[in-house]
């Protein structure tokens, strides 16, 4: 009798105690601006623990790496210490509107983080514009829907803690 590796893999995924679902769903809202010198903002989304230590950089939207340091809080926490993982989560800048970002509840090394208190940060910086930093406390293990207040470079955002 031949051993069926596919069956073993599928059953281990189905009956595993590891949650493969996303932990936090973030709707990043970029407001529309008009004028001749309006550029798309650079945006960073990251999570810190209760001690203020970086847990994970979730997403970074940029055009040129030279301007990443304009997202000052994120740059001091994570950007300047990049060990190569930044390229895996970096995307192009986005147009005005709602954009979905998912955090899977893992740390920078890809390991699941325990339930508990975390702080989600969304920072935006625009050339010839201003900077905005939005901070939202979240509790993994306690599903909730949270809404942030609008900031100059970021509109009101909805954050759903799913697990």
CATH number for the domain that contains residue 79:
2.60.40.4070
Q: What is the pLDDT of residues 47-63, one digit of tens each?
A: 999 999 999 999 988 88
Residue 101 lies inside a defined structural domain of this protein = yes
Point out which residues pair with 47 in neighbouring strands: 56, 120
* pLDDT: which is higher, 1 or 56: 56
pLDDT the model gives residue 86: 65
Angle ∠(90,97,32) on CA atoms, nearest 5: 110
Residue 9 lies inside a defined structural domain of this protein = no
The span from the CA of 85 to the CA of 66, in Å, is 17
Residue 84 lies inside a defined structural domain of this protein = yes
The span from the CA of 72 to the CA of 68, in Å, is 8
Q: What is the pLDDT of residues 105-151, one digit of tens each?
A: 999 899 999 999 999 999 998 877 789 999 999 999 999 999 999 99
Which domain, by its residues, includes 149?
19-161
For the cut 70, the answer to whether the pLDDT of residue 12 exceeds it is no
Residue 14 lies inside a defined structural domain of this protein = no
State the total domains in the chain: 1
For the cut 80, the answer to whether the pLDDT of residue 89 exceeds it is no
Residue 2 lies inside a defined structural domain of this protein = no
pTM recorded for the entire structure: 0.81
Residue 1 lies inside a defined structural domain of this protein = no
* pLDDT: which is higher, 17 or 56: 56
């Amino acid at each position: 009798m031949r051993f069926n590796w596919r069956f073993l893999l599928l059953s281990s995924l189905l009956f595993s105690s590891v949650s493969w679902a996303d932990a936090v769903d973030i709707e990043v809202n970029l407001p529309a601006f008009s004028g001749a010198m309006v550029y798309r903002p650079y945006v960073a989304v990251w999570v810190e623990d209760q001690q203020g230590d970086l847990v994970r950089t979730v997403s970074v939207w940029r055009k040129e790496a030279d301007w990443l340091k304009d997202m000052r809080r994120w740059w001091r926490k994570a950007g300047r210490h990049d060990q190569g993982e930044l390229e895996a989560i970096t995307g192009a800048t986005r147009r005005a509107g709602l954009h979905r970002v998912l955090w899977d509840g893992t740390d920078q090394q890809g390991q699941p983080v325990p339930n508990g208190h975390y702080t989600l940060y969304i920072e935006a910086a625009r050339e010839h514009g201003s900077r905005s930093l939005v901070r939202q406390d979240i509790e993994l293990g306690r599903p909730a829907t949270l809404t942030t207040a609008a900031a100059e470079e970021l509109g009101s955002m909805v954050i759903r803690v799913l697990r």
